[in-house]
Amino acid sequence: MEKSCKLRGTLLNPAGFEPQSTKLAGPFLDRDYSQISDEELDTLVKEFKRQRPTTGLSYLRGHILQLGWRVQRERLLASISRVDSVRKVLRKNSTIQRRQYVSSRPNAVWHIDGHHKLGPYGFIIHALIDGCDDAVGFFPLPL
């Protein structure tokens, strides 16, 4: 019984096999976060926001990572709240004003919509949608 378990483990993970994601992870393979104080993190965030005031969390995470610090997302959000509280309130209160329209009848207004998220797998989806009742008018099936 012990030999079959050992053999099964050898077949599933042969010697020298390393997944691609492991190779790309580099120094952060162990998933340990950096021990940076909140004050130091606030200083880094403040400097980044001074240089690029309109950028968001993703760019900030990349910048901090490029500097060699691996910090939790929640800590970055808390730091942004401490450092950039005025802009946070402004961003929260500014909503996108959507245009309202009334379609007089079916087939008067059409929308085309595309979905490219599955493009790497060969699926790009487009559809025509009636603006009056949101009925799908044309939906080609990818082959």
More confident residue, 139 or 71: 71
Which residue carries 């802009």 as its tokens?
87
Determine the pLDDT at residue 26: 53
Q: Is 114 helix (H, G, I), strand (E, B) or coil?
A: strand
Which region among 18-22, 71-75, 108-112 has the lowest average model confidence (pLDDT)? 18-22
Q: How far apart are the first and last CA of the chain?
A: 47
CA 142 to chain centre: 26
Count the Cβ atoms, other than its own, within 10 Å of residue 44.
19
Which region among 1-10, 26-35, 47-56, 132-141 has the lowest average model confidence (pLDDT)? 1-10
Determine the pLDDT at residue 43: 94
Q: Is 125 helix (H, G, I), strand (E, B) or coil?
A: strand
Q: Specify whether the CB–CB gap between 97 and 111 falls below 8 A.
A: no
Q: Specify whether the CB–CB gap between 142 and 122 falls below 8 A.
A: yes
